[in-house]
Amino acid sequence: MTKTTLLGTIAAFGLAATAAIAAENDNPMVGGAAMFADRTIVENAVNSADHTTLVAAVQAADLVETLSGPGPFTVFAPTNAAFDMLAGGTVDDLLKPENKAALQKVLTCHVVAADAMSMAIMGMIDDDGGTHPVETVGGCTLQASYDGDTIMLEDERGRTAKVTIADVDQSNGVIHVIDTVLLPAM
């Protein structure tokens, strides 16, 4: 067996083992990484290739310790692609130290002080006749609805995010991956 073939076999085994661990964990993979229910939101998020911008923002906003705490938290986690959809320069500006308060506000509008799995969210939406207000720790009110199995969140500016990966169980709550950054009212 050549060195290249051996390395390919080892890499394939590693990916298969990671997928098997994630399946055993009953958690979906996120950003190519296994998500472990016995790890915190931050411990899992740092491994997702799809959430490097979110992780950098959480670090810049000094929210690592908070989101590593006991919670429970529900985090609607925008992907890198979601951040890329913001107007040019927005992310760079938010990451500047002088804009820390604004960054904290944006990020905490993605966090709810509860452990809300998708079926519970859908139940609340049903109980409220099709739309459920979701109060975030950042003081934003999101409007939750769903179509089929897809939960959607409308922010205070009328922007809608879809949950693309739901129910990523964490030791201190749950992550729902979303495709749009939610913004507070201006």
Q: Report the distance separating Cα 55 and Cα 139, nearest Å.
A: 21
In contact, 161 and 76? CB cutoff 8 Å:
yes
pLDDT of residue 25: 57
Q: What does each C-alpha distance from 45 to 19, 148, 162 come to in angstroms?
A: 17, 27, 19
For the four alpha carbons of 31, 89, 95 and 63, in that order, the dihedral sign comes to negative
Report the interhelical angle of 100-108 vs 52-60 (nearest 10°): 130
Range in 7-11, 54-58, 63-67, 131-135 the model is least confident about: 7-11
Residue 4 has pLDDT above 80, yes or no: no
Mean pLDDT score of the chain, rounded to an integer?
Answer: 87
Residue 136 has pLDDT above 90, yes or no: yes
Q: Can you give the residue ranges of every domain in the chain?
A: 36-178
pLDDT of residue 26: 81
Nearest of 171, 178, 167 to residue 142 by alpha carbon: 178
> Structure tokens of 97?
């130290």
Q: Give residue-wise pLDDT tens across range 63-106.
A: 999 999 998 999 999 999 999 999 989 999 999 999 999 999 99
Sheet holding 160-170, edge to edge: 111-112, 73-78, 173-178, 160-170, 150-154, 141-147, 132-135
Task: State pTM to two decimals.
Answer: 0.85
Q: How confident is the model at residue 23 (pLDDT cuts 50, 70, 90)?
A: very low
Q: Report the distance separating Cα 8 and Cα 13, nearest Å.
A: 8
**36-178 placed in CATH 2.30.180.10:** yes
* pLDDT above 70 coverage of the chain, percent: 87
Range in 9-13, 27-31, 110-114, 151-155 the model is least confident about: 9-13
136-158 burial, b if ≥16 CB within 10 A, otherwise e?
bbbebebbbbbeeeebbbbbbee
Q: Give residue-wise pLDDT tens across range 51-60.
A: 999 999 999 9
* Higher per-residue confidence, 27 vs 14: 27
In contact, 146 and 122? CB cutoff 8 Å:
yes
